[in-house]
Amino acid sequence: MANNLLKGKRGIIFGALNEQSIAWKVAERAHEEGATFVLTNAPIAMRMGEINDLAKKTGSEIIPADATSVEDLENLVSKSMEILGGKIDFILHSIGMSVNVRKGRHYTDENYDWTMKGIDVSALSFHKVLQTAKKLDAMNEWGSILALTYIAAQRVFPDYNDMADNKAYLESIARSFGYYFGVDKKVRVNTISQSPTMTTAGSGVKGFNEFINFSEQMSPLGNASALACADYCITMFSDLTKYVTMQNLFHDGGFSTTGVTQAVIDKFGE
Ligand SMILES: NC(=O)c1ccc[n+]([C@@H]2O[C@H](COP(=O)([O-])OP(=O)(O)OC[C@H]3O[C@@H](n4cnc5c(N)ncnc54)[C@H](O)[C@@H]3O)[C@@H](O)[C@H]2O)c1
């Protein structure tokens, strides 16, 4: 179902690792909706090679960039404008990684070098993307920039570990930078808080299978899929949402405002 919602728009999409990636689905949907864009990921992720298939399918070029490196980001943003033939209308930041999570280090026993790495990759990188785009005057007016987040920024989910703190920081950056980008350039900045989704990053969290089932039962509409998330991102990149900025937008089938569901209560009667 394509409606030309992004016809003539130019973008940069971070974080498509494989077909499961939320960014992958966003790229496919953005292409269907008429956008042209550059795909980017960390040089190490490029080695997996799958992004080449996505590039072919969507007629996109790939520019490797470590999102923690301002130098890489400057190169990415300026080359993207050259390739796409003008300023940028939308950016998706779909990046997350915690070394403490990866290595099974408990939240009360963090390795702080790993914590700092996770903060840099998962949150500060968003500030770096925003700052680079602003300094290079790379965004068109009414452009839209999104990052993906999770409700562990507001509520405790024990196995989410230090990613909870990273997401809280990420969401705060969207608000703070959104103010300046709005006033100076009419660019909107938001985060989308997505349901748990079976991807490489998601399944790295301990007990993820059980958790995704719990979340399904706790959401009146069920968990939102990666494709549904992509659809939401497309609307946020379109001109139909021009006055939405500095928001954390829940895309979670109603999970965030549900205290308990009958399905979960019934489990305790068993
Ligand atoms: N999967 C879930 O349950 C879920 C739920 C809510 C939010 N999110 C968020 O969605 C976003 C996308 O994750 P996903 O679930 O699609 O998983 P994914 O593993 O497919 O994507 C994560 C991406 O981050 C990239 N990345 C890591 N370090 C990087 C760096 N230094 N520079 C550039 N890119 C780097 C990876 O290469 C990968 O492409 C993340 O922010 C994640 O936290 C995921």
DSSP-derived secondary structure for 102-127: HTT--GGG--HHHHHHHHIIIIIHHH
Q: Is 190 close to ligand 1, i.e. is its CB under 6 Å away?
A: no
109-131 pLDDT, tens digit per residue, is 999 999 999 999 999 999 999 99
Q: Is 13 close to ligand 1, i.e. is its CB under 6 Å away?
A: no
Q: CATH classification of 10-268 is 3.30.160.40, yes or no?
A: no
pLDDT category at 205 given cuts 50, 70, 90 is: confident
Q: Is 196 close to ligand 1, i.e. is its CB under 6 Å away?
A: yes
Q: Average model confidence (pLDDT) for the chain?
A: 96
pLDDT category at 36 given cuts 50, 70, 90 is: very high
Query: How far is C-alpha 137 from the chain's CA centre?
Result: 22
Nearest-atom index, ligand 1, CA of 196:
3
Contact assessment for residue 107 and residue 161, using Cβ atoms and an 8 Å cutoff: yes
The count of residues in the chain is: 270
Domain range annotation of the chain: 10-268
Q: E strand or H helix at 143, and its extent?
A: strand 139-149
Residue 207 vs residues 64, 166, 178: alpha-carbon distances, Å: 32, 20, 34
Q: Is 258 close to ligand 1, i.e. is its CB under 6 Å away?
A: no
Q: E strand or H helix at 88, and its extent?
A: strand 88-93
Candidate of 20, 21, 95, 227 to mutate for ligand 1, largest count of ligand atoms within 8 Å of Cβ: 95
Q: Is 252 close to ligand 1, i.e. is its CB under 6 Å away?
A: no
d(CA 17, CA 204): 14
> What pLDDT does 204 receive?
79
5 pLDDT above the threshold of 90: yes
Q: E strand or H helix at 168, and its extent?
A: helix 163-185
Choose among 23, 21, 35, 19: nearest CA to 237.
Answer: 35
* N- to C-terminal Cα separation, the chain: 43
What 8-state DSSP symbol labels residue 3? -
Q: Is 200 close to ligand 1, i.e. is its CB under 6 Å away?
A: yes
Contact assessment for residue 95 and residue 40, using Cβ atoms and an 8 Å cutoff: no
Q: Is 38 close to ligand 1, i.e. is its CB under 6 Å away?
A: no
> What pLDDT does 97 receive?
96
d(CA 147, CA 150): 10
Ligand 1 centroid to residue 128 C-alpha, Å: 16
Ligand 1 centroid to residue 147 C-alpha, Å: 10
206 pLDDT above the threshold of 80: no
Output the residue whose Cα is nearest ligand 1's atom 29. 42
> φ, ψ for residue 90 (rounded to 5)?
-150, 150
Ligand 1 centroid to residue 202 C-alpha, Å: 8
Nearest-atom index, ligand 1, CA of 17:
39
> φ, ψ for residue 147 (rounded to 5)?
-125, 155
Ligand 1 centroid to residue 242 C-alpha, Å: 26
Q: Which residues, 6+ apart, have CB-to-CB distance to 237 below 8 Å?
A: 5, 6, 9, 11, 30, 35, 89, 90, 92, 144, 146
CB count in 10 Å sphere of residue 218: 20
The structure tokens listed for 189 are 């900045």
Please state the rounded mean pLDDT for residues 184-207: 92
